[in-house]
Structure 1
Amino acid sequence: MDLMAMIENAMTSPVIYLAILALATLDAFLPFLPSESVVIAAAVFAVSGIPSLPLIIVLAALGAFVGDHIGYLIGRLLRERRPGGRLIRAADRIAPHLHRRGGALIIAGRFVPGGRTAIVTASGATGYPLTRFTFFTAIAAVTWAGYSGLIGYLGGVAFESNSSLGLVVGLGLALSITALGELVRYVSRRRAAATGAG
């Protein structure tokens, strides 16, 4: 059995739904897990109707929402158990930014590699209000799940006759958009540093 056949079998199995839910939950505090890649890959195969794109998006959003709350709780526990720890000192440095622009940071952090983990943990560690956190993380989860699902689906539609190419294009689009976001962030920081120095 070749690799593409194995991937196709995995993506069309009902187990993919559980994998999407679990990975989207766990990568809030284990950021090396490939939740976005799995959502995109499943969405590429959703062009055929199996798996279901709406179900992929709903489960990815639900997992992201739950995972963010677990990360928030981890931040709270770290504050209680290690109040002078290195992570808490780092959270304290970003606390003013978080409390001033928390909504934007929570939503944007969802799309930055490692950003989700840092922001949700810092939110809990700094005592960011849970009701506000819940509101903004719901927006972030739905936006991220919809974006990932639609990127994969568009890759699948564009290359319906060649699902492996659709998979590569879907993942490539997601990586390109992430890289573009990082570039914009880098340029903005450089400009701000130059303006501050001048």
Structure 2
Amino acid sequence: MDLLSAGDWAFALYPIMAAAVALDAAVPPIPSEVMVVTSGSLSANGQVILPLALAAAVTGSMLGDLVVYGLFKRRLTHVLDRFRWGRSVHKGIRRAAARGGRSSTAAAMVAGRFIPAGRTATMAAAGIANVPTVRVLRASALGSVVWACWMVGLGYLTGRNTSLPFWANSLIGVGVGIGVGVLMAAVIGLRRRRAASHGAADPDPGDVSGR
């Protein structure tokens, strides 16, 4: 089996990617973005089916969102604390929430997934704030579709416009994605610091939740 060719393992990529994206919500260090961008790069030369790659990314994103949201909405985090691995996961989610802020608006749930730890933070905040499940589902679906199109698209565009191997195209796409995420995080952080200096509430990246 040629490990540098997707022909032998392409169909295994879809469920593995969906699982990785789902786990990434609760365990942010999992580099699921790499797999998602890679799927786009592979789809550019026909080794991966583009609609299936998008569907896997969206499915995993929504599942992960709902797991984190449900843990905090149902106050089930004490279940994690019974296990050593669970305590590590719980601590990681709390750290992500502390870094990402407390916003639970629909706009924050959509935009948060584009910044480091933002997806975990906003879903945890939505659970703590007891945001209605239907509202979370809508925001998660919209955010997941936009995020999947963006990440898969990065790999696809680099794959279509360069003659590099898929792993090199993936690195380029991941680099662009990380750069955009860091820039967004810096802008949001600057807004928060300015708001705090004026005694204002923690700002959201726009509120379209209707609240």
TM-score of the alignment, normalized to the shorter chain, above 0.5: yes
Mapping of 1:1-198 within 5 angstroms?
Answer: 6-9=3-6, 12-78=9-75, 97-98=103-104, 102-196=105-199
Question: Structure 1, residues 101-123: CA drift from partner, whole Å, max 9, x if none?
Answer: x1111111111211111211221
Q: Secondary structure at the match of 1:48?
A: coil
- AA of the residue aligned to 1:134: L
Give the partner amino acid of 1:33: I
Shift of 1:47: 0.9
Shift of residue 28, structure 1, vs aligned partner: 1.5
Shift of 1:76: 2.0
Offset of residue 63 of structure 1: 1.2
Q: Match for residue 209 of structure 2?
A: none
Separation in structure 1 between the aligned mates of residue 179 and residue 128 of structure 2, nearest angstrom: 32
TM-score, with length taken from structure 2: 0.75
CA-atom RMSD in angstroms = 2.8
Normalised by the length of structure 1, the TM-score is 0.80
Q: Across the two proteins, how many residue pairs are aligned to each other?
A: 183
What's the CA shift for 1:165? 2.9
Unmatched runs of 5 consecutive residues or more in structure 2: 80-90, 201-211
Q: Which amino acid aligns with 2:58?
A: A
Partner SS state of residue 14, structure 1: helix
- The Cα shift of 1:152 comes to 0.9
Among the aligned pairs, what percent are the same residue?
A: 30
User: For the structure 1 residues 16 and 80, does the alpha-carbon distance in structure 2 shift closer, same or farther, using more than 3 Å as the test?
Assistant: closer
Structure with more of its chain in helix, by fraction: 1
